[in-house]
Amino acid sequence: MSRKRTRVGPLATPESTADPLDVDALLDDQNTRIIVCCGSGGVGKTTTSASLALRAAERGRKVVVLTIDPARRLAQAMGIEALENTPRPVEGVNGGPGSLDAMMLDMKRTFDEVVEGQASPEKAKQILENPFYVALSSSFAGTQEYMAMEKLGQLHRDAVETGDYDLIVVDTPPSRSALDFLDAPERLSSFLDGKFIRLLTAPARGPARLMTAGFSMMTNALTKILGATVLQDMQTFVAAFDTLFGGFRARAQKTYALLQAEGTAFLVVAAPEPDALREAEYFVERLTGEDMPLAGLVVNRASTAPAGSLDADEAMAAASRIDRTGAGDPEQTPGLTVALLRLHADRIRIVEREAVLRRRFAAAHPAVPTAVVPALSTDVHDLAGLRRVGELLAAQR
């Protein structure tokens, strides 16, 4: 039998045409001021952000990480289970000149703060107590994305003012799509500014001439559906909010510009699966289209090849032979040997399939440096785990 030996150690990855991402160069570059980790839900954005932030801090940067939805145990390990909406120091970071502060985004609190910062105290109170505002600020699709951007803007202003931080690492919300983060501010302001809301709130906004027959038919219908109080609430809310529109838009645009700035680096995190990588491709294209600086792709939770020199075909052939003849290791039952050989073959095939997906991505986007992080055997829920992921992120050569 021909022996095609592929030597793959536990962390080695099959060749792909992409350049390896140099994580330490990115973290050590004093010009890197903001790192944004995006990607579709569940791929490891929060883990990657926290790992990068810890590594940067332990390499001497003054870092703050804005996490959005850390798993409970990770939040505990970082001392951020309480929603305080301000950064606090993480205990257990290895000494040196660097430091790490962390926070978890409180979406509603952030929204409230924006309102308080923009409106007079009475007007702010009126808005904050409005039921429609309460609903919007805690559940409107896109609010979390918008508030993550808002908080990033705030952290950046503070960092510039106080000099407390020289690197901000940002996690992004668990959206279905990575693009939601970029679209949210526009979506929120066009919702508030939109035709529908304008029509709906026309009476509150003024000119009675808008009260056409069609319009009152519509409000009557809506009153039936929503109830008079809800409609009234919406109208009062939008009227009160009206003066803030300019402020909101201007802030969103500022943060958008910040994302396009030179010191910003986007990392797209993806799982080694067709859907996640396709999503990552859309995102890469969008970033390029918007002039947003992409630092690279992180393929997280990659499968690793089992040790040994049997390739998948050889393992399957051996399994069939033993299955047929019953000739196995005399110490073991043939059935177990056959099962192990098949498992071995399966794992190799998964690793190969993932490599094909990565090569496909690299062929479409050859300029995107890539880091591959293997799936660890346990969840990442403490500083040691984050440190390990940081090492793996940095060990791409």
Which residues lie near ligand ADP (CB under 6 A)?
41-47, 71, 174, 300-301, 373, 375-376, 379-381, 389
Q: How far is the CB of 126 from ligand ADP (least distance, A)?
A: 36
- Minimum Å distance from CB 243 to Mg ion? 35
**Is residue 46 a contact residue for Mg ion (CB under 5 A)?**
yes
Phi, psi of 26, deg, nearest 5: -65, -45
User: In the complex with ligand ADP, which residue's Cβ is closer, 43 or 168?
Assistant: 43
Indicate the residue among 14 and 41 with the shorter CB distance to ligand ADP. 41
> Which residue number, 170 or 316, has a Cβ lying nearer to ligand ADP?
170
Q: For the segment 282-311, give every residue that binds Mg ion (CB under 5 A).
A: none
- Which CB atom, from 147 or from 234, has the smaller least distance to Mg ion? 147
41 binds Mg ion (CB under 5 A): no
Shortest reach from residue 109's CB to ligand ADP, in Å: 20
In the complex with ligand ADP, which residue's Cβ is closer, 376 or 395?
A: 376
Out of ligand ADP, Mg ion, none, what residue 380 binds, judged by CB under 5 to 8 A for its kind, is ligand ADP
- Least Å distance, CB 357 to ligand ADP, is 17
| Partner interacting with residue 373 (select from ligand ADP, Mg ion, none; CB below 5-8 Å by kind) | ligand ADP
**Smallest gap from residue 92 Cβ to ligand ADP (A):** 18
Binding site partner of 12, from Mg ion, ligand ADP, none, Cβ cut-off 5-8 A by kind: none
Of 47-76, which residues contact Mg ion (CB under 5 A)? Answer: 69
How many residues belong to the site for Mg ion (CB under 5 A)?
3
**Contact call for residues 279 and 270 (beta carbons, < 8 A):** yes
Q: How far is the CB of 16 from Mg ion (least distance, A)?
A: 26
Q: Which of 154, 178, 149, 181 is nearest to 165 (CA)?
A: 154
Nearer to Mg ion, 52 or 338 (CB): 52
Beta carbon of residue 386, minimum distance to ligand ADP (angstroms, whole number): 10
For Mg ion, the binding residues (CB under 5 A) are 45-46, 69
